[in-house]
Amino acid sequence: MPWENLLHDEPLSAFGEVTPPVFQTSLFAFPDTNAFEHAMTSGERPVYTRIANPTVRAFERKVAALEGTEDAVAFASGNGAMAAALFSLLGAGDRVVATAPVYAGTHGLLEKLLPRFGVEVTWVDGKDTEAVIAALPGARLLLLESPTSYTFELQDLEPLTAAARAEGVLSVIDNTYGAGVYLRPAEHGVDLVVHSATKYFSGHSDVVAGVVAGPEALVRRIRSQGLVFLGAKLAPWEAWLLVRGLRTLTLRLERHQSSALEVARYLEGHPKVQRVLHPGLDTYPQRALAKKYLHGTGGIFSFEVADGRAAKRLADALEHFRIGVSWGGHESLVLPLASQPRVAEAYAFPEGLVRVFVGLEPPEVLIADLERALARLG
């Protein structure tokens, strides 16, 4: 694992800076037309920040090294990254095999937008490896998310990607949970890895960004089509913040993981909690698969309140946990799925399901908060 890539940067100027400068410029000027034309055709120098910027490039290279891929291309959001990848790789008449469930934004893209452009989507339960493989013949792309966003279900990546390659099907995975630390999908045969960099890569809840990592040829295609034509470019300042965030990624993940496991074990033993969905627990239904693929489990998981109608009351009773849709920052969050009816309806999630993100606060403070809130349920 190239941790040194997270901590050190090659200077972008002659001054030996230890952090990259912010190239806050919309364009780059040239002394003559020959130099301009060479830059346009070779890509050796940036021309326009919508397409390339040195600060953004520093972030992209870090992500590629982290994921062990040849290259990466950054975007203004995780959804922008996923959309750019799909629109660059798919055309009318193509079919996507998508493992369910997926992140809500990805679900909307597949259900509401791509079909308007003649792309067919086949949904398959991601836990059913044989069913996913059976759906692959004739498909163009296999979309994975492991673990999934709400119920943290895993897919058996190696047989799925092997079958996809045998059928000439490209595989794309949302690896926001694994963050290139707990899961490196390219090592298991995945072609393209997508991240919401808003989450762990940022780590401070002050950036919205996305990135796609993979083979140089595929990344070049996404850059030249999805980035250039859709225009969802990452800004230099946000890229600088992400480079900063990556420096503490492994340290933060260790704290998120240890605290979340402590909180999950507490909830697992509480009489008002029906079940806890955390890949690091021995009671997790896919524990063997988690041990096979995951090198850690981070700070996010779900649990189900025994009285499903009490999920929103529980969230409202919490004092240290805030209610919020994102995660990956310093603050602990809770989100009852009952407050997201479209998501709950799309996947038939139980009414009492509550997603938890454990931040950097002391775990004993968060457990005490949960204890008080659960006691108020009566």
* Least reliable range by pLDDT among 51-55, 154-158, 265-269: 51-55
The pLDDT assigned to 227 comes to: 92
Domain stops at, among 247, 272, 297: 247
Average predicted confidence (pLDDT) for the chain: 93
Q: Are residues 10 and 157 located together in one domain of the fold?
A: yes
The pLDDT assigned to 41 comes to: 86
Does residue 378 have a pLDDT over 80? no
State how far the alpha carbon of 172 is from the alpha carbons of 96, 237, 280, in Å. Answer: 10, 28, 24
- Arithmetic mean of pLDDT, 227-250: 95
Domain count across the chain: 2
Query: What is the residue range of 342's domain?
Result: 249-375
Per-residue pLDDT tens digits for 127-139: 999 999 999 999 9
Q: Are residues 25 and 120 located together in one domain of the fold?
A: yes
Q: Are residues 76 and 136 located together in one domain of the fold?
A: yes
Does residue 213 have a pLDDT over 60? yes
- Arithmetic mean of pLDDT, 274-290: 96
Q: Are residues 28 and 52 located together in one domain of the fold?
A: yes
State how far the alpha carbon of 35 is from the alpha carbons of 197, 228, 362, in Å. Answer: 34, 21, 56
Nearest Cα neighbor of 117 from 141, 134, 93 is 93
Q: Are residues 157 and 295 located together in one domain of the fold?
A: no
State how far the alpha carbon of 159 is from the alpha carbons of 68, 130, 188, 287, 374, in Å. Answer: 20, 9, 9, 18, 42
Q: Are residues 52 and 167 located together in one domain of the fold?
A: yes
Domain stops at, among 223, 247, 271: 247
Residue 305 belongs to domain with CATH number:
3.90.1150.10
The pLDDT assigned to 326 comes to: 92
Residue 26 belongs to domain with CATH number:
3.40.640.10
Q: Are residues 180 and 54 located together in one domain of the fold?
A: yes
Q: Are residues 149 and 225 located together in one domain of the fold?
A: yes
125 in Cβ contact with 131 (< 8 Å): yes
Q: Are residues 288 and 203 located together in one domain of the fold?
A: no
What's the chain's Rg over C-alpha atoms?
A: 21
Per-residue pLDDT tens digits for 38-93: 988 888 889 998 889 999 999 999 999 999 999 999 999 999 999 999 999 999 99
Q: Are residues 307 and 284 located together in one domain of the fold?
A: yes
Does residue 1 have a pLDDT over 90? no
The pLDDT assigned to 316 comes to: 95
The pLDDT assigned to 346 comes to: 74
- Arithmetic mean of pLDDT, 137-163: 96
Does residue 106 have a pLDDT over 80? yes
Q: Are residues 253 and 127 located together in one domain of the fold?
A: no
265 in Cβ contact with 310 (< 8 Å): no
The pLDDT assigned to 7 comes to: 64
Does residue 339 have a pLDDT over 90? no
The pLDDT assigned to 5 comes to: 66
pTM score over 0.85: yes
Distance CA 304, CA 355 (A): 9
Domain stops at, among 226, 247, 268: 247
Q: Are residues 125 and 262 located together in one domain of the fold?
A: no
- Arithmetic mean of pLDDT, 255-278: 97
The pLDDT assigned to 350 comes to: 86
Distance CA 59, CA 309 (A): 44
* Least reliable range by pLDDT among 3-17, 33-47, 244-258: 3-17
